[in-house]
Structure 1
Amino acid sequence: MTPIEKVLRPRLGERLVAPVDAGYATARLVWNAAVDARPAVIARCRDAAEVAVVVRAARAAGLPLSVRGGGHDWAGRAVRDGGVVVDLSDMRGVTVDAAAGEAVVRGGVTTGELLAAARPFGLAAATGVEQGVGMVGFTTGGGYGPLIGRCGLGADNLLSAEVVLADGSTVVAGPEGDDELWWALRGGGGNFGVVTSMRLKLHPVPIVLAGMLLFPFAEAATVLSGYSDIVAEAPDALTVMTGFFPGPHGPSVFVCPVWCGPDMAAGERHIARLRALGHPFVDQVGPMPVAAAVGMFAGNAVPGNHYLLRSAWVPDLRGAAGEALASGAATASSVSSVLFVSRLHGAASRVEPAATAFAHRRPHQVIEVIAVWAPGDPAPGRHRDWADATAATLAEVALPGAYPNQVGPHEDARARESFAGNLGRLLEAKRKYDPGDVFSAIPGLL
């Protein structure tokens, strides 16, 4: 038994998983099967007190520490070779206060679990578009999503958080607690401690008008140009995602509108403009719960595949940016790789850049170049080459930095650029709360 096991086994029992244990092979897996890290131990914690014990033990043993919430980070930062994993997957409760329009979510809660808890009250949360994504990582890193125009970023909906710091102490970050840590958590990611629970704002969105429009690849230039015109003047209630899906007979352009306003007739009029951009061969837009809208992309994020992601911010999709996307789609290295475009606008764009750590508040698009391939692919390097080449073309028209939740583990310079004028304050917060760099979910902060 290793020294770290001797310390933690009496406290956690079978919930401490070591390489010799039967469940280790499964416990170390994350969503991206390309991640093959072998931690020293995986500590499945049940509350903040246990998290604090594990943090102190890891530091005393001189072992690297990582935190697993939903386990959905493509780069695998939730698990580190030879390290201690604080696994929050057993901390899954959601408590909804419908009268206050709030929910308390524990550290391992996923998008789907939060939406399911809020739905009986006619409420929804600012989430992303994958039901398996952990809410803590999504929220603290920024949080683009289908309700962003009306509800803001995920980070804008963080009312307070319980955090275990690097020294094992527990604090509450919020306007009535540690407001500097609260500021840093809203966009600065998991660089400051382990968020064991959060209080989030909920919104009265019982139903949305949403779905998928698929256009032929030959109409890509027209669709992307028209999309750019429509979203530039879109009301808060309309958020539109776009991009390219591959297929055995070539790529297609998708346009995915989400109307979250109460006037469904107005939403239909906006969506009619999107339909008229070309000749959609798939039209599946209709009223649905928010959870169903979030689940539309489930087929493109299957656990067990290999994933590699490149990301860029661009002002819009006119001209060179749209051409780069279409070129990337035409040369995709697999029939599973995807180009996905989200938008920041509306409520998220009206937050002052200095009000939270997330600084990039002007309306823009975030592009994800997602290379996907099956385990055992005989030439995996071609997928990385495609993603890198597409990203390099986009870089010619991209804004500085990138979405902090999507930068790679070795992109320190880009990570720093992402925080723009907030970087100095964020670095000071890092030195205050985690001077030893125990937590490094987003690179470049020390």
Structure 2
Amino acid sequence: MISAATPDVATAVARLRALLGDRLHEPGDSGFATTTRLWNGAVERTPALVAPCLNADEVADAVRIAARCHLPLSVRSGGHDWAGRALREGGLVLDLTGMRAVRVDPDAATVTIGGGATAAEMLAAARPYDLVVPTGTVGDVGIAGLTLAGGYGPLCGRFGLTLDNLLGAEVVLADGRRVTADARHDAELYWALRGGGGNVGVVTELRYRAHRLPGVLAGMIMFALAEAPAVLRGYGALVAEAPDELTVMTGFLPGPAGEPVIFICPFYSGPDLDAGLPWMDRLRALGTPLVDQINPMPYADAMRMFDGGMVDGNHYLLRTRWLPALTDGAVDTLVAAARQVSSPFSAVAVHHFHGAATRVRLADTAFGLRTDHLMTEIIAAWAPGEPAGPHREWADRTSAALAPLALPGGYPNLLAPEETDRVRLAYGANWARLRRAKRHYDPRDLITAVPTLPPSGH
């Protein structure tokens, strides 16, 4: 393992300085704080060095230097991993935020992006051609990190997870080799990249299947907290019969009066948007809307709904559970969490997994759950300077209450680093194969990503 030898930081600095010049950052210099700043201000990790790379050749050279100098690696692209795994304590951070090029081939209906591109940048480039690639719900998220662990999002029912649309990738392996991974080249690496969390290499470029989608019928409906039990029960019944074209989020957001509100966020992506109107009427009828903003719009515009909802620099702690359905017990637990929320910044989101995403065979990608379910995201958020204890307790209490109602495991992108048993359960039948891939491609455990997969053991 990489930790068996003492890191030679001085030699790494000399070699990386020759490669990158003033772009290399060390603790204390003017660029270090900027390149180690993450969305979650609670993360306190100090890497030894940050190497902003502008192309795959630089990434490959930096990886070889790290291996020779026994420096563990992590990768920063979007910087939105809440647990801060982009920053490896005492290690070398490969900062890919300078690799953000997006190329669209409208004839082939493909989009190719650099390893540091965000979802919003990818969608903006594809928009003139009425093309989309399925994304998550926040535009600032790095698309590479989203893809490599999953990619729940508003087009899940029609087009699958983000990873289901990955056609191929350019990868720098732990020994510095640059390889192509797709269905015809290194199919095992391609398999592991789709859901394995990025532990098997540094992904410098990704190529996606794009879909023609001029617009969606989408927006936000909000109800008072008092209506939450009825709204959630109605939501659970409705999504159980929703067509592929309709994917619906729900949950609780901070309200203007200090009390959370329950929200419903539908995306209808069928070719005839008018066919989605009756579904919108059914959602409105779940209660008495405080806010009712449903309109046809380009998908890229609809993605802006959650921009700014989670403020960069606030402190965050996330917990997650996979629910097979919204049972009465699950409804009661979620409503209690909203009523007992410890901070006006905290939220709960329930993501809808169905349709096309369920028709991918479990063995075809590393992602470990392909049955209909609801992914629950418990988001504790508080201002810097506040004690973390009450917020952690709220999130942990909610997660524990949902545990008896949940499926094993959980979404790897949201599991905490210490939840190693749940990481294993998240991959289910794919775990052993993913472990073999990790040992094959990174036998010295040079690369850390989401979730952490040690090269030997459990």
Q: Does the alignment pair 1:137 with 2:141? A: no
**Partner residue in 1 for 2:402:** 394
Counterpart-to-counterpart distance in 1, 2:134 and 2:175: 31
**Partner residue in 2 for 1:340:** 349
Counterpart-to-counterpart distance in 2, 1:126 and 1:79: 27
Aligned residues: 445
Please report how far the alpha carbon of residue 28 of structure 1 lies from its aligned counterpart in structure 2 after TM superposition: 1.1
**Cα pair distance change 1:322/1:445, threshold 3 Å:** farther
**Partner residue in 1 for 2:286:** 277
Helix, strand or coil: the match of 2:42? coil
Does structure 1 conserve the Cα–Cα contact (< 8 Å) formed by 2:35 and 2:95? no
Q: Does the alignment pair 1:267 with 2:276? A: yes
**Partner residue in 1 for 2:205:** 197
**Partner residue in 1 for 2:56:** 48
Counterpart-to-counterpart distance in 2, 1:258 and 1:90: 32
Does structure 2 conserve the Cα–Cα contact (< 8 Å) formed by 1:66 and 1:79? yes
Helix, strand or coil: the match of 1:241? strand
Please report how far the alpha carbon of residue 440 of structure 1 lies from its aligned counterpart in structure 2 after TM superposition: 2.6
**Partner residue in 1 for 2:319:** 310
Counterpart-to-counterpart distance in 2, 1:202 and 1:352: 21
1:94 corresponds to which letter in structure 2? V
- Equivalent of 1:383 in 382, 385, 391: 391
2:148 corresponds to which letter in structure 1? T
Does structure 1 conserve the Cα–Cα contact (< 8 Å) formed by 2:408 and 2:422? yes
Does structure 2 conserve the Cα–Cα contact (< 8 Å) formed by 1:45 and 1:87? yes
Please report how far the alpha carbon of residue 194 of structure 1 lies from its aligned counterpart in structure 2 after TM superposition: 0.2
Query: Which residues of structure 2 form unaligned runs of 5+?
Result: 1-8
Counterpart-to-counterpart distance in 1, 2:417 and 2:368: 20
2:73 corresponds to which letter in structure 1? L
1:40 corresponds to which letter in structure 2? A
Helix, strand or coil: the match of 1:188? coil
Counterpart-to-counterpart distance in 1, 2:314 and 2:226: 29
Please report how far the alpha carbon of residue 3 of structure 1 lies from its aligned counterpart in structure 2 after TM superposition: 2.3
- Equivalent of 2:238 in 227, 230, 239: 230
Does structure 1 conserve the Cα–Cα contact (< 8 Å) formed by 2:438 and 2:453? no
Q: Write out per-residue CA displacement over residues 207-258 of structure 1, whole angstroms, 9 at most, x where no aligned residue.
A: 1110000011111111111111111111111000000113344121100000
Q: For residues 216-227 of structure 1, what are the structure 2 equivalents within 5 Å?
A: 216-227=224-235
Consecutive aligned runs of 4 or more in structure 1 exceeding 6 Å deviation: none
Counterpart-to-counterpart distance in 2, 1:312 and 1:200: 28
Does structure 1 conserve the Cα–Cα contact (< 8 Å) formed by 2:246 and 2:268? yes
Helix, strand or coil: the match of 2:247? strand
After the TM superposition, which of the residue ranges 158-167 and 434-443 deviates more from structure 2? 434-443
- Equivalent of 1:111 in 119, 125, 135: 119
Helix, strand or coil: the match of 1:357? coil
2:31 corresponds to which letter in structure 1? G
Counterpart-to-counterpart distance in 2, 1:390 and 1:435: 38
Counterpart-to-counterpart distance in 2, 1:418 and 1:199: 26
Q: Does the alignment pair 1:158 with 2:166? A: yes
Percent identity at matched positions?
53
- Equivalent of 2:94 in 86, 90, 106: 86
Counterpart-to-counterpart distance in 1, 2:62 and 2:51: 7
- Equivalent of 1:74 in 70, 82, 90: 82
Counterpart-to-counterpart distance in 2, 1:170 and 1:357: 22
Does structure 2 conserve the Cα–Cα contact (< 8 Å) formed by 1:173 and 1:182? yes
Does structure 2 conserve the Cα–Cα contact (< 8 Å) formed by 1:207 and 1:260? yes
Helix, strand or coil: the match of 1:198? strand
Helix, strand or coil: the match of 1:115? helix
Q: Write out per-residue CA displacement over residues 316-344 of structure 1, whole angstroms, 9 at most, x where no aligned residue.
A: 11211111111111111100100001011
Does structure 2 conserve the Cα–Cα contact (< 8 Å) formed by 1:137 and 1:190? yes
Counterpart-to-counterpart distance in 2, 1:444 and 1:242: 32
Helix, strand or coil: the match of 1:172? strand
Please report how far the alpha carbon of residue 64 of structure 1 lies from its aligned counterpart in structure 2 after TM superposition: 1.8
**Partner residue in 1 for 2:18:** 10
Please report how far the alpha carbon of residue 436 of structure 1 lies from its aligned counterpart in structure 2 after TM superposition: 1.4
**Partner residue in 2 for 1:38:** 46
Please report how far the alpha carbon of residue 445 of structure 1 lies from its aligned counterpart in structure 2 after TM superposition: 4.8
**Partner residue in 2 for 1:244:** 252
Counterpart-to-counterpart distance in 2, 1:179 and 1:396: 37
Does structure 2 conserve the Cα–Cα contact (< 8 Å) formed by 1:241 and 1:342? yes
- Equivalent of 1:429 in 421, 433, 437: 437
Q: Write out per-residue CA displacement over residues 378-418 of structure 1, whole angstroms, 9 at most, x where no aligned residue.
A: x2211111111111111121100001111111111100101
**Partner residue in 2 for 1:368:** 377
- In the superposition, the TM-score normalised over structure 1's length comes to 0.98
Does structure 2 conserve the Cα–Cα contact (< 8 Å) formed by 1:411 and 1:444? no
Helix, strand or coil: the match of 2:194? helix
Q: Does the alignment pair 1:439 with 2:447? A: yes
Helix, strand or coil: the match of 1:2? helix
Counterpart-to-counterpart distance in 1, 2:262 and 2:454: 37
Counterpart-to-counterpart distance in 2, 1:137 and 1:290: 21
Counterpart-to-counterpart distance in 2, 1:433 and 1:116: 34
**Partner residue in 1 for 2:5:** none
Q: Write out per-residue CA displacement over residues 141-184 of structure 1, whole angstroms, 9 at most, x where no aligned residue.
A: 01100011111001100000000000111110001111110011
Query: Which residues of structure 1 form unaligned runs of 5+?
Result: none
- Equivalent of 1:253 in 246, 251, 262: 262
- Equivalent of 2:339 in 292, 306, 330: 330
2:350 corresponds to which letter in structure 1? V
Counterpart-to-counterpart distance in 2, 1:20 and 1:373: 27
Counterpart-to-counterpart distance in 2, 1:295 and 1:152: 20
Please report how far the alpha carbon of residue 309 of structure 1 lies from its aligned counterpart in structure 2 after TM superposition: 0.3
